[in-house]
Amino acid sequence: MKLKTVFENFELLTDAPNAVAKLREIILQLAIRGKLVAQHPNDEPALALLERIKSKKKQLIFSNKTQKLDFNLSDEEDVILESLPVNWYWTNLETIGWINPRNNLPDDLDVAFIPMNLIPQKYGVVVQWETKKWGDVKKGFTHFAEGDVALAKITPCFQNGKSCVMRGLKNQFGAGTTELHIFRPIDNLTYPEYVLIYFNSVSFIKNAIPIMTGTAGQKRVPNSYVAQNPFPLAPLAEQKRIVEKCDRLLSICDEIEKRQQQRQESIVRMNESAIAQLLSSQNPDDFRQHWQRICNNFDLLYSIPETIPKLRQTILQLAVQGKLVRQDPNDEAASVLLKKINAEKAKLEINKKNRASKEQILTEYGNAPFEIPSNWLWLKVDDLYDVSGGIQKTPKRTPISNFFPYLRVANVHRRRLDLSQLEYFELVEGELERWKLQSGDLLIVEGNGSENEIGRCAIWNAEIDNCVHQNHIIRARPIGHNSQLFTLLFLNSPSGMAEMRNLAITTSGLFSLSVGKIREILVPLPPLAEQKRIVEKCDRLMSLCDTLEAKLKQGRDSSEKLMEVAAKHLLTA
């Protein structure tokens, strides 16, 4: 497979999120292997070029007496290296140039100053600089000059490819961050941009990582690696052709990446606009019209995995607004269900002072998040559930005897429980009866410091016998009804999550809900029969979302594997 073929068929590979990045890697790797442009028999061979460089370096050393002559690779080392085109030659950078040279300049000269944040992370980006006096930066900083090649040596800047050719410097000289290695060609006998390609190649970066020195987060590429790592010297004329070809191909990569980003952003915007129109529909006719528009463009709107989470949230929002299934006039109204709940409360002597009636709800709960069907009600969580905190884990007890499984915040996620890792807690007499979970309990996380994680909730289905819960998990036990599945949908919907965020207490950026705040959450209550239809419809649609998302991700995985195969063919041809 040829590189031209890859570009001609690149649209088949673009579903992979790293396709363009992989293509850039292929281009740079082919460049330093002599497989990117054709070799010309009339080019001066690299060995002859090397001899010219070494001769010139001897002259400079003899006249300057500041540098020693560095070694070249031995024939024994040549044997274990990859084969190169016939007119190329293995050498190293300290043989063909200067490593980390120093400048001798007047103190009052204006020069370029470049901190690490101005070193480009992408090949071909022009380096930016600040202006400083040489006397202010000549000590304690790295020196460089026009045409030098800079490479970041510290992690993660090195792995991210921070490097550049120094072009357009103030008075052609400069200094900057100490976290740079500098290569200076001798007498323009090596193209700096060709060395930059070498620094950006995946093999150069990959081979350096295991030998980086220092502590975690402060590891650095040693000077010896930059100076002595095998460098594939190409004929000077071919270096120029390689750089020109790289620039053209990487420019094409930039265009492809830009089109990909624009397409994805366009799909996301169209999806958000279509959903916003659907959710803001003022009447059934508008709703049907906007829904039909989504159906007609479904293959486009949901052609990338990034739009599926928004689809899930839309389904939940439609469900809790009463727009997902039809209302049945034969359903028992929510107001009748409320009377039964109040009767059960009276029987159990729960909340004597706060038994909501339909009339009270219409006056006291009038500021509802959105309009609901006429046979629904807005209620507070406290109207429907017996809400309580969990057991305090202080004073610290040692689980020696009489200990029981104990749910923590880490066990409760959105719409699911993770019981793979449980802790156990010793209980004294009477505590098990007080804190024991019952099947159907709604468990709500009061907070873990993150605004997006406020009110994570799931339903306990008695998966484990005699299980209790910590005080950071708030239990809402239904009274005289089985509405917890629908309440769960609401609390995980955009409106429910917004309601909980608004009620959350924040201290120093930490968000949490208290038992009292959870009792105040407004939740919609449909007729029980409709709740069942909504939950069943939601489950089916969520399953379809899972299937669609998996299919889209599988398509991306296939594209990624296809790209890997193409890369292997190109690099081993």
pLDDT in tens, 424-472: 888 887 888 888 999 999 999 987 667 777 888 999 999 999 999 888 8
* Mean pLDDT confidence for 176-188: 96
Q: Which domains does the chain have, with CATH numbers?
A: 44-234 (3.90.220.20), 343-526 (3.90.220.20)
Strands 163-165 and 130-133: unpaired
Distance (Å, rounded) from C-alpha 149 to C-alpha 166?
6
- Which is nearest to 518 in space by CA: 457, 487, 474, 468? 474
Whether the pLDDT of residue 15 is over 70: the answer is: no
For residue 1, the model assigns a pLDDT of 55
Tens digit of each residue's pLDDT (9 = 90 or more) over 192-247: 999 999 999 999 999 999 999 998 778 999 999 999 999 999 999 999 999 999 99
Query: Got the DSSP string for 13-31?
Result: TTTSTTHHHHHHHHHHHHH
Secondary structure of residue 506 in the 3-state scheme? strand
What pTM value is reported for the model? Answer: 0.72
- Which is nearest to 572 in space by CA: 31, 5, 35, 66? 35
Whether the pLDDT of residue 254 is over 80: the answer is: yes
Cis preceding-peptide flag for 156 (omega within 30 of 0): yes
The one-letter amino acid at 235:
P
Could you tell me how many residues make up the chain?
573
For 155, 322, 353, 515, the CA distances from 525, given in Å and listed in that order, are 55, 10, 21, 20
Distance (Å, rounded) from C-alpha 331 to C-alpha 376?
11
* Mean pLDDT confidence for 285-294: 87
pLDDT band of residue 77 (cuts 50, 70, 90) is: very low
pLDDT band of residue 76 (cuts 50, 70, 90) is: very low
Residue 253 near residue 239 (C-beta atoms within 8 A): no
- Which is nearest to 525 in space by CA: 279, 331, 312? 331
Whether the pLDDT of residue 79 is over 50: the answer is: no
* Mean pLDDT confidence for 325-330: 92
Whether the pLDDT of residue 66 is over 80: the answer is: no
Whether the pLDDT of residue 62 is over 80: the answer is: no
Distance (Å, rounded) from C-alpha 209 to C-alpha 189?
29
Tens digit of each residue's pLDDT (9 = 90 or more) over 468-505: 988 889 999 999 889 999 999 999 999 998 888 888 87
- The answer to which of 141-150, 248-257, 307-316, 562-571 has the lowest mean pLDDT is 562-571
For residue 2, the model assigns a pLDDT of 64
DSSP code of 308?
H
Q: Which two tokens stand for residue 514?
A: 């208290």
- The answer to which of 184-198, 222-236, 278-292 has the lowest mean pLDDT is 278-292
Q: Which two tokens stand for residue 38?
A: 């054709």
- Which is nearest to 221 in space by CA: 164, 157, 174? 157
